[in-house]
Amino acid sequence: MKNLESLIKTYYDFPKKGIAFKDILGIIQDTEVFKELILKMSSNSVIQRSEAIISIEARGFIFGSAISLQTSKPMLVARKPGKLPGELIQESYFLEYGKSYLSIQKEAIQKFSSYAIVDDLLATGGTIDCVANLIKKSGKEVCGSITVVELLELNGRSRLNFPVETIISI
């Protein structure tokens, strides 16, 4: 997509040494590019085949909620520890920089049968794999995942056994 890559800035050694952090926030400061991106993500087959979307805290929320409005597909959130009230389903995962777990509200995930996972970036694939496991644990279908960016050298898609879509690979 024209201009998209130029809006992604790399910060070296953030949030810790050895990480080349891709800052995608410049995209939402260019509304024409952002709009084009959301239309492209929304028309992707992974989104189209799903009944609902699960977006991942925090930058996944930006893209997930815009896709939800564009497609009229409901959105759920997968959140980091201590953020969600009510009865939760949890799953741990390893990040490029640390270990954590993600939670989904049990009542919310029971409402729909199939889900598309939305996030800003695919690195090792651990985060998306974690959300996919939450969906499977709940007896629901994973239609696939879609991110704005994929970091090719980490080959995160190799651990994911469903359609893995991305807008740009770098």
Q: Could you tell me the smallest distance in angstroms from the CB atom of residue 159 to ligand AMP?
A: 9
Identify which of 49, 12, 57, 8 has the alpha carbon closest to the alpha carbon of residue 30. 8
Smallest distance, ligand AMP to C-beta of residue 140, A: 21
Residue among 95 and 111 whose Cβ is closer to ligand AMP: 95
Least separation in angstroms between residue 22's CB and ligand AMP is: 4
Q: How far is the CB of 80 from ligand AMP (least distance, A)?
A: 10
State how far the Cα of 14 lies from the Cα of 151, in Å rounded to an integer.
Answer: 16
Judged by beta carbon, residue 50 or residue 166, the one nearer ligand AMP is 166
Q: Give me the amino acid identity at 145.
A: S
**Residues near ligand AMP, by CB under 6 A:** 19-22, 56, 59, 95-96, 119-127, 156
* Complex with ligand AMP: residue 64 or 126, whichever CB lies closer: 126
DSSP code of 162? S
Pairing of strands 20-23, 9-12: antiparallel
Q: What residue type is 19 in one-letter code?
A: I
Contact 11, 23 (CB under 8 A): yes
**Pick 144 or 156: Cβ nearer ligand AMP:** 156
Beta carbons of 102 and 134 less than 8 angstroms apart:
yes
Question: Shortest gap between Cβ of 6 and ligand AMP (angstroms)?
Answer: 17
Report yes or no: 59 and 36 within 8 Å, Cβ to Cβ.
no
Residue whose CB is less far from ligand AMP, 33 or 123: 123
